[in-house]
Amino acid sequence: MPSLRANGVELDYDVHGPADGRPLLLIMGLAMQRVAWPPALLDALAARGFRCISFDNRDIGLSTRFEAHGSPSLPQVVASRLIGRRYRLPYTLADMADDGAALLEALGVPAADVVGISMGGMIAQHFASRHPQRARSITLMATSSGRLGLPLPRPSVLRVMLTRPQSGQGLDAAVDYVTRLFRLIGSPAYPMSRNELQRRARAAVERAPLGSGVNRQVAAIISDIERPDLLRRITTPALVLHGIADPLVPLAHGIDLARALPRAKLQTFPGWGHDLPDALARDFATVIASHAAQAGG
């Protein structure tokens, strides 16, 4: 698959859909590679005229890793956030937003509609703030404003997240962890079989191991202290999509985000958790296409 150097890092990317389609930049979430965008969703978006540009965020997948920086102390990152200070990190969510903008520039795409899920939605908020001329619209899926005081994930989800295996524990341990996590955070109304979850998890881990980039990305999320204040200055048309059954980023986050953005609409989906079920692919593609059309060119 192709890769290019943008914003000082090597980004692995892919393009799916008609060559003359409306550009759509897809930003994936925490610890997830670009291949986590399901083919069913990519096909549904392409069928609606989008040229889908997906990429591995820095520090995951086949893009540049920052292993030499080691793992930050997450308790210290949290303590810094609580007193309003930024913990010193090798990169921020704003840097990751700049990666997306640099990728578009390198591909000769002046502007695109932007879709981000979970951490990718947080990055998309920075994208719209820092590169408004490149964002025709933003669709923010299963994500948050980052404001302190919003509900935490369900305790059962937190317990599993705290059992994430270390990189030296092997492929099977990583596959088992990802499978257990997505069985918890997946959509109760659209469950995926354990065998399919395992197949997707194994394919991702075999493509590229997690490494310690997960901790650095988590630290970037926690230390993102300025985002709640910049939201009110974002004028890009925004669509907030959130699952009523999301156990990782509860619905209150989506409601708060839609209220904070001046030009936002909120659409909720009963039975949707914190994943991208194939059963909702056409629904997601339809609302994203409608939002992009309303935003204009």
Integer Cα distance of 97 and 100 in angstroms: 5
Integer Cα distance of 216 and 179 in angstroms: 22
What pLDDT is stored for residue 210 in this prediction?
81
Going by C-beta distance under 8 Å and a sequence separation of 6 or more, which residues neighbour residue 155?
A: none
Going by C-beta distance under 8 Å and a sequence separation of 6 or more, which residues neighbour residue 56?
A: 11, 12, 13, 28, 33, 34, 62, 63, 208
pLDDT digits (tens, 9 = 90+) for 223-237: 999 899 999 999 999
pTM of full prediction above 0.85: yes
Going by C-beta distance under 8 Å and a sequence separation of 6 or more, which residues neighbour residue 36?
A: 28, 29, 200, 204, 276
Specify whether the CB–CB gap between 67 and 220 falls below 8 A.
Answer: no
Number of domains present in the structure of the chain: 1
Nearest one of 74, 5, 62 to 34, comparing CA atoms: 62
Going by C-beta distance under 8 Å and a sequence separation of 6 or more, which residues neighbour residue 234?
A: 125, 128, 129, 132, 138, 261, 262, 263
Nearest one of 62, 44, 42, 39 to 52, comparing CA atoms: 42
What is the CATH number for 243?
A: 3.40.50.1820
Integer Cα distance of 23 and 49 in angstroms: 9
pLDDT digits (tens, 9 = 90+) for 258-297: 999 999 999 999 999 999 999 999 999 999 999 999 998 7
What pLDDT is stored for residue 86 in this prediction?
84
Range of the domain at 241: 3-295
Helices (H) and strands (E) in the chain, counts: 11, 8
What is the sign, positive or negative, of the torsion defined by CA atoms of 259, 113, 241, 55? negative
pLDDT digits (tens, 9 = 90+) for 43-92: 999 999 999 999 999 999 999 999 999 999 999 999 999 998 888 999 99
Nearest one of 112, 126, 4, 92 to 55, comparing CA atoms: 4
What pLDDT is stored for residue 296 in this prediction?
87
pLDDT digits (tens, 9 = 90+) for 152-208: 999 999 999 988 887 667 889 999 999 999 999 999 999 999 999 999 999 999 999
